[in-house]
Structure 1
Amino acid sequence: MIHIKRNLIFSLEKRKKEGKLIIDNVPIRLRVNYEGIRVDIQTGYRIDIVKWNEDKQEVKNGSYNKSRQSSSSINSRLLELKVAIQDLFGEFESLDKIPTNEDIKQVAQTLKNKGKIQSKDQIANNLTEVFQKFVKENGRANNWSNATFTKFSGVKKHLNSFKTNLSFNDFDEDGLTDYLIHLRVVGKMKNSTIKKQLGFLKWFLRWSFEKKYHTNDAYQGFRPKIKDSNKTVIFLTEEEKSKIISYEIPSTKTYLERVRDVLLFTCYTGLRYSDVYNLRRSDLKPNHIEITTIKTSDNLIIEFNKHSRAIINKYAHIPYENDKALPVISNQKMNDYIKELGELAKINTPVRLTHYIGNIRTDEVLPKHELLGTHVGRRTFICSALAIGIPVQVVMKWTGHSDYKAMKPYIDVADKTKKNAMQKFDLL
């Protein structure tokens, strides 16, 4: 990867009028020098020369310009511009390319178009602008996955459809209730989805409150009663797993063999689809797997058992792109093929799904194979491990779960499984 040498300097433009240097209300400019190229960018701010700190390249603390914009507000926006351009250089370095002066100017123009280069008082009046800052800052700080960015893109869409020119004052207790109803009626959401959406909104309102973008703390006491049912944990029982293992795949559907192997590998390791997809041969040690998970960046060590080792050995001598350990296809195709495999292997146990929209309960009964997907392997691993008596804290070390709350649905399933297993002695 190349390294682009660059120098970013904020300064005041030297202008003259009738032969005299202008010292009042002077434009602040950012000059970018890199690889023999110089780009001058107008920041959109002005300040008197006596209020400018040339050494620190910022407005002197406690100063205001003619537009009554404060030093802290201007300096914050200047830093944001500088960070955005540094990020651009980083992106081009990762591609072994050098940006053009138009690329750099476009970054500044994009910030202006989005209203980013403005005072904090101005930006606070526009909730959607603050929301963009929230996503950018938290996404970078917490290393969000693409899926998380997609979730919050959906949140923004729902906020925009709720009301134009949305402000923080709109989210008093009545406004929060109106938004809940909007999600239910316009968004046609189930109660379980509404709970998640309100959770995302409250996270944003809490963050923006702490950043002093608003003083409306109504979200803190907003705890509506939203009827919901317990989430059904979809996993494979030992009998169902045996059906899939013993199913003889027809010659016309040989692609299902690789899908089955990957599915079973997740059943015996507890890995998420994303981690199996990115599993490299360098992650495979003599007796265990060492990985950093994609979703949570957890460093995990997962010991091999005879089943997971056999699957790895089966593909050990087949070269795959990027030195991948297993022939993992796209998530969408994998989901489709797992359902197909489940149907062929007669995984047909009826499963009742219950959900609420408002106070209206809806029950749906589906054959289990229609509910199978890449998620089922990890859930099967957890349920199986707990059912055979492996301590929950050991299972959590393999899966990367950090608290018992997330494990409770699986513990309940394991308890039920053990109870049913004990009743089989009554048949002897």
Structure 2
Amino acid sequence: MKTSRTFSIHFWINSAKIKKNKAPIYARITVNKERIEISLKRDIEVTYWDTRAKRSNSRTPQAKALNKYLDQVYSDLLDCHTQLHIENKIITPKAIKARFLGEDQQQKSLLDIIDYHKTTMPDTLKWGTLKNYDTTEKYLKRFLGDRYKTTDIYLQEITYGFLIDFDQYLRKTSSINRSQPLKNNGIMKHLERLKKLLKLAVNLEWLEKDPSTRFSLKFQKYDREFLSSSELHELEVADFSNDRHRKTRDLFIFSCYTGLSYSDVKALKEKNIVRGIDGKYWIHTHRIKNDQPVKIPLLEKAMVILERYQTEEFNYENNLLPVFSNQKINIYLKEVASLLGINKKLSFHSARHTFATTVTLSNGVPIETVSKLLGHSKLSTTQTYARVMEQKISADMDKLQNSLNLDSIKIKRKQL
């Protein structure tokens, strides 16, 4: 265990900085003849400073309050020395000062871990994920201001109750982008990011114990929108007079037959289209979201859309398809659905769900294959996308019934 031979705390006034007969008060910490000074942000009239007691000798209420403050500083500095001793840290005047001022690793704050995450994760996380962390930071700052009347909080002060309060606050406060409150799953995402930040703080040894360990995230499961085979066909054959509606439809259909997300379609370039071992064209790319490699055989309907835009009149800066901004394409998809009377919220997410359900799984493609095509790192992720349509269930049950009937006939024949 690391110990020190000498340790002392000494209060003094800096006579070199006297102004209007008042001098600032300092605390001097000495460990093994090494010393450091801390400005206490207090001053006193020189005539009232007792050089032996190191306190004010005045009897005024202000002097009594000053002496009480100096007693507290003395006690706090002793505590800092004791903490470092218990933690088996090297005890120096600098270490005691840092602990006293809250500048050492034991006194890191919530904004410290947020800033650390910001500076260290850009090479690891995607831009969209980092943007979501920025939004969570805004909610945390708003919460600290409204609930605690502060701009920051020490990590050591974050408790299980802090997470409960933050959860309840998000349920009652308005969204940053909209006037209505956040929905449950959006709230869970913010809490999930906070839990990850606290876990990072524990790993960095900025926090001894994770207060969020026992806090459970409760996501609500909901039905994901997807197009039935008849709706998909209706969208494919629809004749739109508006050019933006035609292009938007084509992009959506392309995603329905490839399973690619919006960002993956937008990033698609000529180099991503290659000949496979079967002699047919494949898409070889990496998912923007998780960098998982995906290899997708190009179905005929997806190939037709690609060929439609590979003429000289189209120029998309080396991109294969005319992808609008995410905001615009969602607006156009809403217009397309309205024109066709499709009472569903269309998005690239629903296109991926359509690929997983209507195009692949309902046509007998194994879920393991679908998982590879979607670029999922875990099969459980694919299972949240997957739906088995009623007609597929009916067909499977018909096969089962036929099998049972055959077994029954065989048994009767043996009995005869």
Q: TM-score, normalised by structure 1?
A: 0.62
Q: Across the two proteins, how many residue pairs are aligned to each other?
A: 292
Question: Separation in 1 of the partners of 2:374 and 2:136?
Answer: 29
- The reply to whether residue 298 of structure 1 matches residue 296 of structure 2 is no
Aligned to 1:339: 334
Aligned to 1:383: 357
- Provide Cα deviations, 1:113-148, integer angstroms capped at 9, x if missing partner: xxxxx99616843221221102322332x2x22211
Pick one of 142, 153, 162 that aligns with 1:166: 153
Aligned to 2:187: 194
Flag the 1:243–1:154 CA change in 2: closer, same or farther, 3 A. same
Pick one of 96, 107, 117 that aligns with 1:134: 117
Counterpart of 1:303, as a letter, is P
| Shift of residue 344, structure 1, vs aligned partner | 0.9
Query: 2:239 aligns to what SS in structure 1?
Result: coil
Question: Separation in 2 of the partners of 1:417 and 1:379?
Answer: 17
For 1:75-154, what aligned pairs fall within 5 Å after superposition?
A: 121=104, 124-140=107-123, 142=124, 144-154=125-135
Contact 1:331/1:374 (<8 A) preserved: no
Contact 1:183/1:194 (<8 A) preserved: yes
For 1:165-244, what aligned pairs fall within 5 Å after superposition?
A: 165-187=152-174, 188-223=181-216, 226=218, 229-244=220-235
Structure 2: gaps of 5 or more residues: 1-33, 36-88, 145-149, 175-180, 276-280, 400-416
Question: Separation in 2 of the partners of 1:283 and 1:329?
Answer: 20
Flag the 1:386–1:200 CA change in 2: closer, same or farther, 3 A. same
Counterpart of 2:298, as a letter, is F
- The reply to whether residue 266 of structure 1 matches residue 255 of structure 2 is yes
Flag the 1:229–1:208 CA change in 2: closer, same or farther, 3 A. closer
Contact 1:334/1:374 (<8 A) preserved: no
Aligned to 1:280: 269
Query: 1:414 aligns to what SS in structure 2?
Result: coil
Query: 2:285 aligns to what SS in structure 1?
Result: strand
Question: Separation in 2 of the partners of 1:295 and 1:120?
Answer: 37
Counterpart of 2:338, as a letter, is E
Identical aligned residues as a percent: 26
- The reply to whether residue 67 of structure 1 matches residue 94 of structure 2 is yes
Contact 1:123/1:129 (<8 A) preserved: no
- Provide Cα deviations, 1:52-111, integer angstroms capped at 9, x if missing partner: xxxxxxxxxx999863499xx9xxxxxxxxxxxxxxxxxxxxxxxxxxxxxxxxxxxxxx
Question: Separation in 1 of the partners of 2:198 and 2:104?
Answer: 17
Counterpart of 1:231, as a letter, is Y
Counterpart of 2:294, as a letter, is L
Counterpart of 1:320, as a letter, is N
| Shift of residue 417, structure 1, vs aligned partner | 5.3
Aligned to 1:19: none
Aligned to 2:308: 314
Question: Separation in 2 of the partners of 1:151 and 1:311?
Answer: 33
Structure 1: gaps of 5 or more residues: 1-23, 26-61, 74-117, 349-367
Contact 2:370/2:382 (<8 A) preserved: no
Contact 1:172/1:216 (<8 A) preserved: no
> Whose Rg is larger?
2
Counterpart of 1:133, as a letter, is Y
Pick one of 389, 393, 418 that aligns with 2:392: 418
Question: Separation in 2 of the partners of 1:344 and 1:422?
Answer: 35
Aligned to 2:411: none
CA-atom RMSD in angstroms: 2.9
| Shift of residue 421, structure 1, vs aligned partner | 6.6
